[in-house]
Amino acid sequence: MIIALGASRVERRTLSAYRSREIKECGIVESSFPTGALVPKAETGVLNFLQKYPDYDGRDVTIAIFDSGVDPRATGLETLCDGKTLKVIERFDCSGCGDVDMSKKLTPDEKGNFKGLSGRTLKLSPELIALNTDKDGAVRVGLKSFNDLVPAKVRDNIVAQAKLKSWDKPHKTATANASRKIVEFEAQNPGEASKLPWDKKIVKENLDFELEMLNSYEKLYNDIKTSFDCVLFPTDNGWLTIIDTTEQGDLEKALRIGEYSKTHETKNVDFLSVSVNVHDDGNVLEVVGICTPHGTHVASIASGNHSSRDIDGVAPNAQIVSLTIGDGRLDATETGTALIRGIMRVMDLCRGGRRIDVINMSFGEFSNWSNSGRIGELINEVVNKYGVVWVASAGNDGPALSTVGTPPDISQPSLIGVGAYVSPQMMEAEYVMREKLPGNVYTFTSRDPCIDGGQGVTVCAPGGAITSVPQCTMSKSQLMNGTSMAAPHVAGAVALLISGLKQQNIAYSPYSIKRAISVTATKLGYVDPYAQGHGLLNVEKAFEHLVEHRESKDNMLRFSVHVGASQDKGIHLREGVQRKFVDFNVNIEPVFFNDEEADPKDKFNFNVRLNLIPSQSWVQCGSFLDLSYGVRSIVVRIDPTSLQPGVHSAVVKAYDTDCVQKGPLFEIPITVVQPHVLENVQSTPVFEPTTQRADKSVEFQPNTIQRDFILVPDKATWAVLRLRLSDPNRDNDIGKFFLHTSQLLPHQSCQKLKTMKLICVNSEFEATEAFPVKANKILELCIAKFWSDLGQSHLKYSLEFRGVAAQNPNAYVMHAGRGIHPLEVGVLVAEEIQPLLQLKNAAVVLKPSEAKISPLSATRDVIPEGRQIYQSLLVYNLNVAKAAEVALYAPLFNDLLYESEFESQMWMLFDVNKSLIATGDAHSHNFYTKLEKGEYTVRLQVRHEKRDLLEKIAEANLIAAYKLPNMLALDFYDSYNQCIVSGRKFTSAKVRETNKMLYIAPIAQDRITKANLPAQCAWLSGNLVFPKDEAGRRIALHPFTYVLNPAEKKAASNGAANGGSSNNASPAAAAAVNANAAKPKAQATPQGATNTANSAGGDADTLQKEVPANASGGAPSSPQKGKTSADDYAESLRDFQCSHIAKCELEKAEKIYNEVVAAHPKHLPAHLQFIQNIESTELKTQLPLAFVAAHQKRSSEGDDGSVDKQRDDNSQKQRSALERIVKLADIVIKETDADALLSYYGLKNDTRPDATKIKTNMDKQKNNLIEALSKKGIAVAKLCVLEDNLKEHLAELNDIYTEIIKFVDANDSKAIQFAMWHAYAHDHYGRMYKYVFKMIEDKRTRDHFEELAAINGALGYEHTKAVIDRMTVTAFPNSFRLF
């Protein structure tokens, strides 16, 4: 509160009284904020370390951030502490998301003009031309969509701001005007619209469609993607990139950026910091953006440098290399390609003299196994050969055990894994908690051990911060928490250590630093041991340890510890009840840093004598080990027989007998889980925790974790957890509990069978949660009171097991060809069953149409030294017959990333115009994309440095899984015979001790047909549920696969393809016949059976065959019979000649046409074929506004006589072609009896025996007539445009229009092209929009989109025209997008 110096005594007294009252009512107002806890450093000794060693602040240290990209212009990331030296020294997008194909070269004209890939004319200013050092003055051109270079939320904000600025006002005005026109028309023309005359109807339609157009654009706006022209050329200072963010083509006003490695330039695109790199001699431009704010936040924690020291990062004077591994095409998920490129970049920088000292990776996934994997091998190489300290977040998937992610869980424990800790000071400053609690780990931080028994968490560190985020977020700082924030704290601390070691000239290795951090960490006795590793990081003690033991012989080596044949990193017993001791062979091998190049003398002279100390009495091993360079094997015996139910951990520590105070050189981690076994199997198995309280409740303080391990009873398939608070005074108070259940399955990650949920519990109502379980596997039931949930709670809970499942082998895979499918249903205890089988997805197996192996970039994709990476590019064709949701995945590589034998796999889905629709990688099988009808191309890239491995996958399948619009439910029977005859169905029953037999019949053919399955469907999949219990039906799901019979080209008469039946037999009986009977030969397909669509626009190649016109006004007579062989020959020859009229050159086509007409003067399709030929050779443009624009352009071109003469010749040639089309169309119109056609189509029923043939012939006549009318109308309209007298011929065009709509709607495919011209003649741009939109639905072409933009321009809607232009650029790229 500010008090004026001149205030009177009374005023001061009044203010003093007010202040006293404020203090009494609200407490003392603090004048200082605990800023030091916003980016916590005191907890780990960082502040003390920097006070003691102010020069060891990260100088001379570089941290590589493997993340989502770092913004060099974010607060605190611009410079080092001197305020001058750049902090972010390198910036790469390793994912390929920012790559632009720049292989196309163009030479601008003398004015600097050239055509960009967007279709726009681009102009270089004289200044830019002068900068270009290309010997031919050429430039490279490309096109880049910026949609995936910016975080999704930021992108939404940018779009919203642009909409507000340049869209909302003109669009609302246009919409209001369109609505006003409709109201005025309705006022002038009262009554029902359906009763209006046709000319008034089309006026009304035009107004309605204009409003519909505006409303549709409003809905589309947020989904429109922006693509910019990119221009690249060499200069004296390296490559210069120009990005036309103005979308106007004037490159003088466009964005200019030099290569970041040389110029360190970043430019602003809607506050997105953009930089560029150039690869492969200019063929690839890498545009670097930011896919989430995560990476900038991480870098700020590790190395932020602010004016206020309180909010500095841990190592404020360390430099940053930003390596983006999150792919914007995959919602910022890391990919194998990005990881490998990031690793190679680190190797190259280290070899090139710009050493990377520390890597922080706050990214990760869960692996199905960790003892092998290509990415893990290369991570180990970075640590073991290049000496880089790699720090990784442990993951946020706790509090259950064995939830550490990959990395740090890889084949060797070479990384520093970090758990997340929250201190009292953080609770106060970051989380606005009303009271501080003792420091602890976050509830969600992942826990040890790794699945193979290794230790994934090395130490814990503060896991939350409020610090800088990218400028494009429009926020200076943001709170983020998790192990992602704990890892950069440790990475920054390692930078401090290395900074000090370098300045003291002390040799170190990743092993000595990890050992020092582990040995000196502060063990927190009251904190979950599985979450903290060796304890809370202590930087001061770690540095003292490194200095004290600087001469230790083991500083430059690690000790490889592998258990058993599977090469596990530790010992983990978690299979059933442990009733006897187990011996494990443990191999121990000293490995030198850069072992292959290490001095042989060092290897020969190495020897260490170790004392092995087990931490628990139930672990036994030899006490001493003499270890030289080479592998030694020891036996560790685990005797768990005396262990009570629960989890038990131990460690064998190996001390150097010459220097015990140095701490253990290596450890063998051991974890044993002894489960509870539920003895009473006669009644429903229920587990209740052991407790000392009379009410059987368990006491929970904030972050209390209760773990129970239960051996799931045989036949159990789900469990129900019941919870209630027992505190009598907490009726309305709610406790927040974190439920986490986990079962580890062989060769599967901890994610495969887990439940994670935050549950609110009180004492008034019982909370329940059901979840699936796997029988005979140990279940971890983990209940934790959330770390920030204040107060004490007493929780009473129990776990009840239920179960019903099919017991026979392969019960959940049914082959249609095998007929009836049996299910032997067993239950855990008596259970009411009501089976339901619903098939929801249809799978199509795609075979590669092309497989090609080729080397990738010779500069960007080569592992030092000279290890070239190859790609196998597999191409698949996907035909979507109707709109559907489709998921794509490659079974060979699905669900494998870090553990995969291959470096990466990625597929991209393109439409027929090469526009990218969707992208997927290792985890794409559950992600569905809505696809419209059409042809698609899928390109799958698999990478590896060994070409021979890629050759083995040349025939890898791709699966397209379609979501069925309507689920297929199968019936159950409890009698085999009833199943055969489709008799009495089974609905429900109570199953007790004896198993119940059920039977499923194959799906009937009529149901297969009605389901509209995709062509070549191989199987159907869905879920089978048995229990009647509501909770059980929701979660006890058994994935079920229904394998269809192979599709046949021609269905047999007694059955159908895909395992269906004939209509007069039961599905089961038909399946039995099909399975046992021989296949009849398929009938030959008639030669003329192919049906080709006929387009009124002149694009079709096949026309309707001529049918003799009927002279009478009634229905036609039957076709003539009794043709001779000579007649057949003559007709066949005629049809063959006609089929070539449209294909040949004009001169040859005219000759064939004259021959056909001379021989068959009544054969009308010949005239239409010749019209098609004239259109394809003489008249390229069909759409009205495009034709008019082309005509106007020709009229305005040229000032000299030669140009004028050529223009006149072309115009005369065009007129002659159009006039001839009119004459040819008139022949068809004249020779066709339209009245007879109308009379026929007016018949309600045709009872003649040959009615079908008559209908076929009449349809052909009608289609020929409609086409002739359309061709004539288009030609007349074009002639009027050329003569500039369109309005004078409206009556003629109206006559043609009314003739056509007697037979078909104006938007019919045979008439829609002329309808477009008719609408244009009347200035009905709303109708034009509707017709073009219909064409786009049938086939998306650039011409259609450009016509749509011209329609909006003609209406004066420049804001919508700009948006359509933007859509056109993105929807029609020149080539497939780069991987």
From CA 950, how far away is CA 972, in angstroms rounded? Answer: 46
Say how far residue 385 (Cα) sits from the centre of its chain. Answer: 34
Q: Is 813 exposed, middle or buried (0-12, 13-18, 19+ CB in 10 A)?
A: middle
Catalytic residue among 275, 303, 393, 484: 484
Q: Which of 171, 294, 297, 545 is catalytic?
A: 294
What tokens appear for 1076 in the block? 């046992």
Complete DSSP assignment for 1055-1094: B-STT-B-TTS-HHHHHHHHHHSPPPPPPPPPTT------
Contact 1035, 718 (CB under 8 A): yes
**Distance, CA of 1030 to CA of 832 (rounded, Å):** 11
Give CA torsion, residues 1066, 1072, 1073, 1078, to 10 deg.
150
Contacts by 601-605, CB closer than 8 A, 24 or more apart: 603/629, 604/629
Q: Could you give the CA distance from residue 361 to residue 65 in angstroms, rounded to a whole number? A: 6
Nearest Cα neighbor of 149 from 243, 82, 232, 216 is 243
CA-based nearest residue to 850, from 747, 925, 764, 954: 954
Q: Are strands 804-806 and 821-827 parallel, antiparallel or unpaired?
A: antiparallel
Give the whole-angstrom CA distance, residue 952 versus residue 520.
49
294 is catalytic: yes
3-state secondary structure 382-395: HHHHHCCEEEEECC
Find out whether 314 and 305 touch, Cβ atoms under 8 Å. Answer: no
Q: Which is catalytic among the residues 57, 67, 101, 1029?
A: 67
- Of the candidates 450, 801, 479, which has an alpha carbon nearest to the alpha carbon of residue 649? 450
CA 41 to mean position of chain CA atoms: 37
Distance CA 1314, CA 968 (A): 44
DSSP 440: E
Give the sheet arrangement for strand 272-279, strand by strand. Answer: 99-101, 284-288, 272-279, 267-269
Q: Which of 540, 556, 558, 557 is nearest to 548 (CA)?
A: 540
Strand, coil or helix: 829: coil
Rama region for 1058: left / alpha / beta (φ>0; ψ in -120 to 50; rest): left
The closest alpha carbon to 1373, from 552, 183, 352, 142, belongs to 142
CA distance 42 to 50: 10
CB distance 662 to 549 below 8 Å? yes
**At 836, which amino acid appears?**
L
Residues 6+ apart with CB under 8 A from 1064: none
* Start-to-end C-alpha separation, the chain: 60
Say how far apart CA 1025 and CA 1035 lie, in whole Å: 9
The alpha helices in 832-927, defined as continuous H runs, are none
- Per the document, the length of the chain is 1379
Task: Based on the residue annotation, tell me whether 484 is a catalytic residue of this protein.
Answer: yes
Strand-strand pairing, 666-674 and 646-656? antiparallel
Residue 734 near residue 814 (C-beta atoms within 8 A): no
Tokens of 853: 């192996």
Separation of alpha carbons 1255 and 1116, rounded Å: 10
Distance, in Å, from the CA atom of 125 to the CA atom of 105, rounded to the nearest integer, reads: 18
Beta strands in 424-534 (DSSP E): 440-441, 459-462, 464-468, 477-481
Q: Where are the beta strands (DSSP E) in 301-347?
A: 319-324, 326-327, 333-334
Which amino acids are annotated catalytic? 67, 294, 484
